[in-house]
Structure 1
Amino acid sequence: MPETYADLIAAEDVLLFVNAAVTATGQREFRSSAGEQRLSLAFLHEYVRVNHRPVYAAALALDINDHNAVTIVEQLLRTADEADGPAGKRAEGRLIAARLALLPPQRVYRLFRALRAAKVNNRRTRAIVRDWLAARAASGGLAHDAVKYRSGLKTAARHVHRRFPGDESGDFLFAPGRRVRYEHAALDAYRRAHYEQGALYELPFTVAEGFAAKHGVPRAVFLERIAPRMTRLERLRTQRSGPATDLAAMPLTRLALFVLSLPFGERVARRAELTGALRAAAGRVAGPYAGTWGRVAAVLDDSHSSSGSAVKRRRPLAVALGCHFLLEALAAPGAYSAHWTSGTPDGFDPLLVRPWGPTPLGTRILDALEAAPDRLVIVSDGWDNAPPGLAGEVLRVWRTRLDPERRTSVVHVNPVYDAAGFDVRRLAPSVPTAGIRDAEDLAALVEIAQFAEGRTGFAELLAYLDRRVELFVKGAPR
């Protein structure tokens, strides 16, 4: 059946929202303020929720960022009366429960606090909160939450009138003077840490920090003794100099951000270690697809705008660096070429990239296409300015005159949300563009990009979302 104009508009709306939900976090970007980002994102959420509610809920099954996942859950619960009957509510409930299970606990508790402040207290909301708290208790995490997220857990428990029969966590939260000691180690360590300095090293790092300050423990001594209790990310945040532990186990984009935070001298001194860690992280992400993409060329943006903003420092550049190593892993052995916008002279070391200069995307795309690769991946914020518009013209001529058979697959992934355009900035109508936040999502976003290219329709897009939802609620890897 031929698609109607309404179908085409709906497909465009959905893809536009997915791009925003992947990239935008409501924070300041290089070219737009936090207020502009939040206003633009709020409009998109309301527009898609009102006009395409089933698809809006289905976005929870995609690789969107946590900020937008929490916003979707909150909006669905706030507007429960708009759901498409009992079946629609059940489908939304399953998606919400599955997504909450993946979110960091602090974000979930922040969500519950927002729902309580907004007086969202319908039966479905109470059931979702109770089920999530029950799952935390079953996994043994409720006592940990009582220590680390005390106010959040108290707020959630009060909101749904949760009882704690026979659970020490209830007394810890609501009647701390009732027990002389606690059987659970974390709860008792928190009690003892008020007067016993050694007990603070049995607590989570963020809780122990406050007690260390109270007891006047020197920072260096505290960090050395608390190290076994720290997560990998906490170690990275506190060990900006010297070798950080277990770099090879870090997620690819996080690791790229850490590498870019190091001074150039340290990057040079630790070149072998850092390069090995990045390649190991990329290899884990590539998995069974390593070496299967054939000849791959990448155009990577390291212009001045890739410096990001004060709250997202070097984030676009880190995504480009992560994509560089991932594409190297996905390409056939020896069949990968990288073209940074600043130039790639002989001996260029990607570890030493820095955000500077204009964005000559058109020139670099010409360089990349010269070898007629099987795939061309462009990682850029889309602000082609040296000269303006050259990249779009190069891609138009390539697609319409030189490669109409599409022997080379071209995809543009953009790590920056354009608040004014309600989307990520595109280079050319003939080239699909997808938003990207983490380099790890590159392969999945290339799959999404086929819908943006226009060669598949709205029915295929809905079928794809249905498959993702089915796998998601069953707990299969995304």
Structure 2
Amino acid sequence: MGETRADLVAAEDVLLFVNAAITSTGQREFHSVADEQDFSLDFLHSYLLGNYRELYASALALDVNDHNAALIARNLLATSAQAAPDRRSLEGRLIARRLAALPPPRAYRLFRELRRTRVNNRRTRAIMRDWLAARPDLAFDAVKYRDGVKSAVRHAHLKPEGELGTFLFAPFRPAGYRTPILEKWRQAHYTQAAIFELPYTVAEGFAARRGLSRADFLERIAPRLTQLERLRLQESARGLKTVSVRTELSAMPLTRLASYVLALSLDDRAARRAELTEALRAAARRAAGEQAGSWGRVTAVLDDSFSSYGSGQKRRRPLAVALACHFLLEALAGTYTPTWVSGRTDALLTYPFGATPLGERVLDALGTRPERLVVVSDGWDNSPPGLAGEVLRVWQTRLDPDRTCAVVHLNPVYDAAGFDVRRLAPTVPTAGIRDAENLVALVELARFAEGRSGFAELRAHLARRVETFLGEGR
């Protein structure tokens, strides 16, 4: 039986939401302010929750960003009574599994929001209780995220036993703690040496109150830094001659590493070319995994126009995604040809500048006769407007009707006014992208946006992703 009009609309609605949930974080973008992003995103969440609750919950198994994962979890928990009885268990497992993958600050922020909005049903309390019980070191959390732990414990109606309960609600009552990190926190109020046994963010506050110099503080806290903290501090510490804060760049996630590279000056990038290039290639090889070298002839059109700067809140994020995709596609391809919108050829020295002549670059890319053409751009084709879409239309209808070249558009920017990521052409599969590491999965998802795969296939795809996400697809 063929698919009905309702099935086609449902597929479009789900893909619309997934693109938004992957790309938008409710922050300002180059072409839209934060309020527009929030309004557009809230509408899509409400619409999908109300009309396709099952598929809305399944989105937790996809590559949606942490901001939207937390919104989905909050909305599902707030409307627990509306869940079908045979779906409640699966919803609960999806929420619990996704919360386990969230950074702790994001999870604690969600718990505070649930408390503020008085979402306190039995399922919410059980999920919070189990999440806290699964934390590897709740005493560490109590020191680093004290207000978050305290709020979660109160909201879930928990009664921590022993020193943890005392620390949360009467921290200065004991003369000492047997738990080492709790005792170090107590001692840090009286002795300077104890400060450097605490997590960086906690120690920083103590150091500021004691008037310690930044250089001395960074030098002594360096052994306690996490990888991400090292990455963030490495450049600020570079200017302090006595400080050595180093991190192993090749161990960093690809897109985050690309953001770090773009934050460096062009002179620094040129001076550290070998180090940075090798680190990016190592991260790309890790992300490619078993698919490395299996994609045949690949050509990429990568957007480094001025709009790839993003915004003050998401500085150079679109360009970072393009740079990370460049190195990942290089690892995936048998033969790889990059085409930057600006015409530059040195990926490491790229920066946001100029108009967006996507049409010209797509023509150049198709001239290489690739098996795959991947366009990474915000879709604002403006030099001249609409040329890229027309080029691709003619290519697919007249020159390559058999689709021997697979074309896909990956867009790192959510268009709040259009409730979707901007598309180059109706016949070109388009998916939102936030992290280059998800590129392979998003290329598969994008084919549903082309209209040649139906709603039944989309539901089956989501079911497989849910099984894999929950560890049931083996």
Please report the TM-score for the alignment, with normalisation by the length of structure 2.
0.97
- Say whether residues 1:297 and 2:299 are aligned partners: yes
Once the 2 structures are TM-superposed, how far is the Cα of residue 2 of structure 1 from its aligned partner? Answer: 0.4
Q: Which residue of 2 aligns with 1:70?
A: 70
In structure 2, which of residues 432, 443, 446 is the aligned counterpart of residue 446 of structure 1? 443
Q: Which residue of 2 aligns with 1:274?
A: 276
Query: Which residue type is aligned with residue 467 of structure 2?
Result: E
Query: Which residue type is aligned with residue 274 of structure 1?
Result: L
Q: Could you list the per-position Cα deviations for residues 236-288 of structure 1 after superposition, in whole angstroms to 9, with x for gaps in the alignment? A: 21121648420000110111011001011110100000000000000000011
Tell me how far apart the structure 2 counterparts of residues 463 and 237 of structure 1 sit (CA, whole Å). 41
Once the 2 structures are TM-superposed, how far is the Cα of residue 474 of structure 1 from its aligned partner? Answer: 2.0
Q: Could you list the per-position Cα deviations for residues 106-154 of structure 1 after superposition, in whole angstroms to 9, with x for gaps in the alignment? A: 1111111111111111111111111111111xx2x20011000101111
Q: Which residue of 2 aligns with 1:468?
A: 465
- Say whether residues 1:155 and 2:151 are aligned partners: yes
- Say whether residues 1:206 and 2:208 are aligned partners: no
1:239-250 to 2 correspondences below 5 Å: 239-240=234-235, 242=238, 244-250=246-252
Q: Is the 8 A contact 1:22 1:435 kept in 2?
A: yes
Q: Which residue of 2 aligns with 1:131?
A: 130
In structure 2, which of residues 140, 144, 150 is the aligned counterpart of residue 144 of structure 1? 140
1:304-319 to 2 correspondences below 5 Å: 304-319=306-321
1:357-376 to 2 correspondences below 5 Å: 357-376=354-373
SS at match of 1:129: helix
Q: Is the 8 A contact 1:21 1:65 kept in 2?
A: yes
- Say whether residues 1:237 and 2:236 are aligned partners: no
Once the 2 structures are TM-superposed, how far is the Cα of residue 97 of structure 1 from its aligned partner? Answer: 0.6
Tell me how far apart the structure 2 counterparts of residues 203 and 475 of structure 1 sit (CA, whole Å). 39
Q: Is the 8 A contact 1:98 1:475 kept in 2?
A: no
- Say whether residues 1:10 and 2:10 are aligned partners: yes
Q: Which residue of 2 aligns with 1:181?
A: 176
Q: Is the 8 A contact 1:28 1:37 kept in 2?
A: yes
Q: Is the 8 A contact 2:234 2:247 kept in 1?
A: no
1:292-441 to 2 correspondences below 5 Å: 292-332=294-334, 335-344=335-344, 348-441=345-438
Once the 2 structures are TM-superposed, how far is the Cα of residue 179 of structure 1 from its aligned partner? Answer: 2.1
Q: CA distance change for structure 1 residues 235 and 115 in 2, over 3 Å: closer, same or farther?
A: same
5+ residue gaps, structure 2, are 239-244
Query: Which residue type is aligned with residue 35 of structure 2?
Result: G
Tell me how far apart the structure 1 counterparts of residues 261 and 129 of structure 2 sit (CA, whole Å). 41
Tell me how far apart the structure 2 counterparts of residues 180 and 151 of structure 1 sit (CA, whole Å). 22
Tell me how far apart the structure 1 counterparts of residues 221 and 32 of structure 2 sit (CA, whole Å). 39
**Paired residues, number:** 467
Moved more, 405-414 or 156-165: 156-165
SS at match of 2:87: helix
Q: Which residue of 1 aligns with 2:253?
A: 251
SS at match of 1:450: helix
Tell me how far apart the structure 2 counterparts of residues 11 and 128 of structure 1 sit (CA, whole Å). 30
Q: Which residue of 2 aligns with 1:120?
A: 119
Once the 2 structures are TM-superposed, how far is the Cα of residue 475 of structure 1 from its aligned partner? Answer: 7.5
Query: Which residue type is aligned with residue 423 of structure 1?
Result: D
Moved more, 285-294 or 181-190: 181-190
Tell me how far apart the structure 1 counterparts of residues 156 and 323 of structure 2 sit (CA, whole Å). 45
Once the 2 structures are TM-superposed, how far is the Cα of residue 175 of structure 1 from its aligned partner? Answer: 2.2
Q: Is the 8 A contact 1:11 1:457 kept in 2?
A: yes
Tell me how far apart the structure 1 counterparts of residues 79 and 65 of structure 2 sit (CA, whole Å). 22
Q: Could you list the per-position Cα deviations for residues 65-110 of structure 1 after superposition, in whole angstroms to 9, with x for gaps in the alignment? A: 00000000000011112111x2211111010011111111111111
In structure 2, which of residues 204, 212, 223 is the aligned counterpart of residue 228 of structure 1? 223
SS at match of 1:321: helix
Q: Is the 8 A contact 2:412 2:433 kept in 1?
A: yes
In structure 1, which of residues 284, 289, 293 is the aligned counterpart of residue 286 of structure 2? 284
Once the 2 structures are TM-superposed, how far is the Cα of residue 177 of structure 1 from its aligned partner? Answer: 3.3
SS at match of 1:87: coil
Q: Which residue of 2 aligns with 1:193?
A: 188
SS at match of 1:111: helix
Q: Could you list the per-position Cα deviations for residues 44-64 of structure 1 after superposition, in whole angstroms to 9, with x for gaps in the alignment? A: 000000000000000000011
Q: CA distance change for structure 1 residues 476 and 4 in 2, over 3 Å: closer, same or farther?
A: closer
Once the 2 structures are TM-superposed, how far is the Cα of residue 392 of structure 1 from its aligned partner? Answer: 0.3
Q: Is the 8 A contact 2:431 2:446 kept in 1?
A: yes
Once the 2 structures are TM-superposed, how far is the Cα of residue 404 of structure 1 from its aligned partner? Answer: 0.6
The alignment yields a C-alpha RMSD, in angstroms, of 1.2
Query: Which residue type is aligned with residue 228 of structure 1?
Result: P
Moved more, 315-324 or 335-344: 335-344
- Say whether residues 1:96 and 2:95 are aligned partners: yes
SS at match of 1:417: coil
SS at match of 2:235: coil
Q: Percent of counterpart pairs with the same letter?
A: 67
Q: Which residue of 1 aligns with 2:45?
A: 45
Tell me how far apart the structure 2 counterparts of residues 18 and 58 of structure 1 sit (CA, whole Å). 10
SS at match of 2:86: helix
Q: Is the 8 A contact 2:464 2:473 kept in 1?
A: no
Tell me how far apart the structure 2 counterparts of residues 72 and 244 of structure 1 sit (CA, whole Å). 37
Query: Which residue type is aligned with residue 109 of structure 2?
Result: R
SS at match of 1:296: strand
Tell me how far apart the structure 1 counterparts of residues 146 and 473 of structure 2 sit (CA, whole Å). 31
Q: CA distance change for structure 1 residues 244 and 303 in 2, over 3 Å: closer, same or farther?
A: farther
Q: Is the 8 A contact 1:146 1:173 kept in 2?
A: yes
